[in-house]
């Protein structure tokens, strides 16, 4: 009986690791469709596997880290021959989300992202800081193996870091939301409003990223709408939509990206994606936190009113 239980636990752990590896690999295949070559190295403006890896760790714990390593290996092997430099990339891409997970757990991060501190932790401790590890280890591995000249280190490093960071800021919140998504409530108007938000997001983002005029700022009112009315459940899909459509326009070099060099395109693209993610995540967390405080105050008031009514009924008449 004991051996059977141990075998079940082992089988479950192996299946979870394989599932994480498969999700990482599929995310890598999706990310490579938008890859660009920066000074001879293939990088992506948005690397979804980093966000998938962090979400898996937040859901399942450190036991799934071998799945991240295996998924990284499969993604690299798909690009080209796996060699010594591949081992360094696997180590960096595995260590970064693991460090992000440990730091988030250290500060008491909640996956609901219903506090401003949670949004700040996800942005900085989950995204911007730990991805320095994967970018630095990966780029130095390419340099030391002779696959990348030293004078091209910083352009490749910055593109690598930005792609990994955006993977966390865009993909991780969406996955955290999908785990607890439910149909909009609070009256029948919520469903039409959600539909209007989706339609408006698509139209506005297409216009902003495809128009020859500088209209990228138009995406922010839509993100604010999503954050104020639907919090993270509305913000996370909007951020993903803006990022994907902006990357598509940048790849086609159309709209505000027309006539720009690769470096200028990458800077403008990542500035837009980063600003959209920061705005949406922080604002949605602030609104959620305020709503929770209001609900708690209302509950306290109701409890106090019931207590006063109870005391009034029990008071003897004169």
Residue 267 has pLDDT above 60, yes or no: yes
Q: Which tokens is 25 given?
A: 């690999």
Q: What length does the chain have?
A: 318
Q: Which residue has the higher pLDDT, 1 or 140?
A: 140
Q: Which tokens is 76 given?
A: 């690299």
Residue 316 has pLDDT above 80, yes or no: no
Q: Percent of the chain at pLDDT above 70?
A: 89
Task: Give me the pLDDT at residue 223, please.
Answer: 94
pLDDT, tens only, 53-100: 999 999 998 989 999 999 998 888 766 666 666 788 899 999 999 999
Task: Give me the pLDDT at residue 44, please.
Answer: 81
34: DSSP letter: T
Confidence of residue 252 (pLDDT cuts 50, 70, 90): confident
Query: Highest-confidence range of 79-83, 201-205, 254-258, by mean pLDDT?
Result: 201-205
- Please say whether the beta carbons of 30 and 46 come within 8 A: no
pLDDT, tens only, 296-310: 898 888 888 888 877
Task: Give me the pLDDT at residue 121, please.
Answer: 94
Q: Cβ-count burial of 103 within 10 angstroms (0-12 exposed, 13-18 middle, 19+ buried)?
A: middle
pLDDT, tens only, 213-245: 888 899 999 999 999 999 898 899 999 999 999
Average pLDDT, integer, range 22-40: 79
Task: Give me the pLDDT at residue 251, please.
Answer: 82
* pTM of the predicted model over 0.85: yes
Task: Give me the pLDDT at residue 265, please.
Answer: 82
Coil/strand/helix, residue 214: coil
- Please say whether the beta carbons of 39 and 155 come within 8 A: yes
């Amino acid at each position: 009986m004991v051996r059977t239980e141990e075998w079940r636990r082992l089988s479950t752990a192996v299946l979870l690791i394989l599932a994480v590896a498969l999700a990482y690999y599929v995310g890598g295949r999706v990310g490579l469709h938008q890859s660009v070559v920066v000074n001879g190295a293939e990088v992506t403006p948005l690397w979804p596997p980093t966000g998938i890896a962090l979400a898996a760790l937040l859901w399942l714990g450190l036991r799934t880290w071998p799945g991240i390593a295996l998924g990284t290996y499969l993604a690299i092997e798909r690009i080209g021959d796996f060699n010594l430099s591949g081992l360094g990339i696997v180590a960096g891409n595995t260590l970064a989300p693991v460090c992000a997970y440990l730091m988030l757990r250290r500060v008491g991060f909640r996956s609901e992202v219903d506090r401003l501190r949670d949004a700040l932790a996800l942005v900085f401790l989950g995204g911007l800081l730990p991805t320095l590890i994967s970018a630095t280890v990966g780029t130095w591995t390419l340099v030391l193996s002779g696959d990348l000249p030293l004078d091209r280190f910083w352009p490749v490093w910055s593109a690598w870091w930005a792609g990994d960071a955006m993977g966390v800021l865009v993909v991780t919140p969406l996955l955290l939301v999908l785990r607890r998504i439910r149909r909009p409530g609070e009256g029948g108007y919520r469903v039409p409003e959600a539909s209007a938000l989706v339609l408006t997001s698509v139209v506005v983002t297409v216009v902003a990223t495809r128009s020859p005029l500088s209209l990228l700022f138009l995406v922010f009112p839509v993100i604010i709408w999503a954050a104020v009315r639907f919090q993270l459940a509305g913000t996370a899909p909007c951020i993903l939509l803006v990022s994907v459509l902006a990357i598509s326009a940048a790849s086609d070099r159309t709209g505000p990206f027309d006539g720009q060099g690769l470096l200028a395109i990458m800077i403008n693209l990542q500035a837009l994606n980063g600003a959209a993610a920061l705005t949406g995540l922080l604002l949605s967390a602030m609104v959620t936190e305020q709503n929770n405080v209001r609900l708690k105050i209302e509950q306290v008031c109701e409890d106090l009113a019931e207590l006063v009514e109870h005391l009034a009924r029990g008071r003897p008449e004169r």
